[in-house]
A and B are shown apart, each in its own frame.
Chain A
Amino acid sequence: FVSHNALPTYFLFASFTDCFSPSSKRQTEVRGVAKVEDYTLPAYFDRRESPLPDIKFVQQLSPDQKSLKEKEKGSWAALSKEEKIALYRISFKESFAEMDKGTGEWKSVVAGIFFFIGFTGLVVLWQRNYVYGDVPHTFDPEYKQKEVQRMLDMRINPVEGFSAKWDYENNAWKK
């Protein structure tokens, strides 16, 4: 297998002049070399299900990091805790604990829900005052009294419902 750890370099032709000299064997003419797009190169991902990504996180190493990488070739017991952490951070962006931690996004979502419910309440209130007119006269207390009396006279639901709760002898609601 070819190691994929090296920085990607693309050598498409053996020599540069080969591209442009016409030959009887070559069927296609070369118009140029395509620019390598970022999205075509191996990318770094922190994923639980794929713990070792295709590339190291830090691609350009500082001189300190380079010397640390050299030291890594020797005994690992000789490395200090900080050096080991530094080596880990060169290869990886976030540790498992960091990549798994919650974002707290749910708090924003719940806050947004409450906010918009509240806003809707204000809209409904305004609507009641400025859009809807008065309720019908049938809601007036006097009318309602007459309506109840009419229902009792008609013996609405006399067995278990409305009129059943009215005491006709004493002209009051049953206690």
Chain B
Amino acid sequence: MISAAVMRGIGTLTRTRAAFTAPLAVRCYSHAKVETDEEFDSRWVTYFSKPDLDTWELRKGMNTLIGYDLVPEPKILDSALRACRRLNDLASAIRILEAVKDKSGPHKEIYPYVIQELRPTLQELGISTPEELGIHKV
């Protein structure tokens, strides 16, 4: 019916969809859901928080995470360091810190920030940073 079509038309106009109001701003990208940063972080925190995580899973998780084009959030690293503690692997914990510094590349301010955020965890677990051990330089 005409009125139904008109009602439907008005209905679509009143809904504030960017596709109708600003056609230039929205491109026709795929409609797949994009994972938000928070979802990504919490997914990885959950991965490393698994109580019976084994060494292979720790290594696989860490190598995959380092493969991404990002520096992991301190909360993900905290979870990974605790996983190292559960596996009694101090060397891997130190290696993870080294990898974070390497991952920051030219952005020298990222690593000190991460260490600052992780300081309580490092103290609690007794992990020394590569700088404290002197292995940060040749």
Task: Judge: A and B partners, yes or no.
Answer: yes
On A, residues with C-beta under 8 Å from B are 1-5, 48-54, 72-73, 75-79, 81, 84-85, 87-88, 90-92, 95-98, 100-101
B94/A50 in contact, CB under 8 A: no
A76/B92 in contact, CB under 8 A: no
CA distance A45 to B36 in the complex (A): 33
A96/B99 in contact, CB under 8 A: yes
What 1/0 flags go to B44-74 for Cβ under 8 Å of A? 0000000000111111001100110000000
B56/A2 in contact, CB under 8 A: yes
A12 CB to closest chain B CB (Å) equals 22
Question: Within 8 Å CB of B67, what residues of A?
Answer: 49-50
User: Which of A79, A91, A97 meets B89, CB within 8 Å?
Assistant: A91
CA distance A72 to B128 in the complex (A): 13
CA distance A97 to B98 in the complex (A): 9
What residue of chain A has the Cβ atom nearest to residue B65's Cβ? A51
Q: Do A97 and B136 form a contact, CB below 8 Å, given A75-B126, A79-B126, A87-B91? A: yes
- Which residues 74-131 of B have a CB within 8 angstroms of A? 85, 88-92, 94-96, 98-99, 101-102, 125-128, 130
A127 CB to closest chain B CB (Å) equals 47
CA distance A94 to B130 in the complex (A): 13
B94 CB to closest chain A CB (Å) equals 6
On B, residues with C-beta under 8 Å from A are 54-59, 62-63, 66-67, 85, 88-92, 94-96, 98-99, 101-102, 125-128, 130, 132-138
23 inter-chain pairs at a CB distance below 8 angstroms, sorted by A residue, are: A3-B54, A4-B56, A5-B55, A48-B102, A49-B66, A50-B63, A50-B67, A51-B66, A51-B96, A73-B88, A76-B125, A77-B125, A79-B90, A79-B126, A81-B128, A81-B132, A85-B135, A87-B91, A95-B98, A96-B98, A97-B136, A97-B138, A98-B138
11 extra A-B contacts, CB within 8 A, seeds A76-B125, A85-B134: A1-B57, A4-B56, A5-B56, A49-B67, A50-B63, A73-B88, A75-B126, A76-B126, A84-B128, A87-B90, A92-B91
Question: Within 8 Å CB of A92, what residues of B?
Answer: 91, 95
User: Which of A72, A81, A91 meets B133, CB within 8 Å?
Assistant: A81
Q: Do A52 and B92 form a contact, CB below 8 Å, given A76-B125, A78-B126, A88-B135? A: yes
CA distance A120 to B66 in the complex (A): 49
What residue of chain B has the Cβ atom nearest to residue A56's Cβ? B91
B54/A88 in contact, CB under 8 A: no
User: Which of B58, B90, B101 meets A52, CB within 8 Å?
Assistant: B58
What residue of chain B has the Cβ atom nearest to residue A5's Cβ? B55
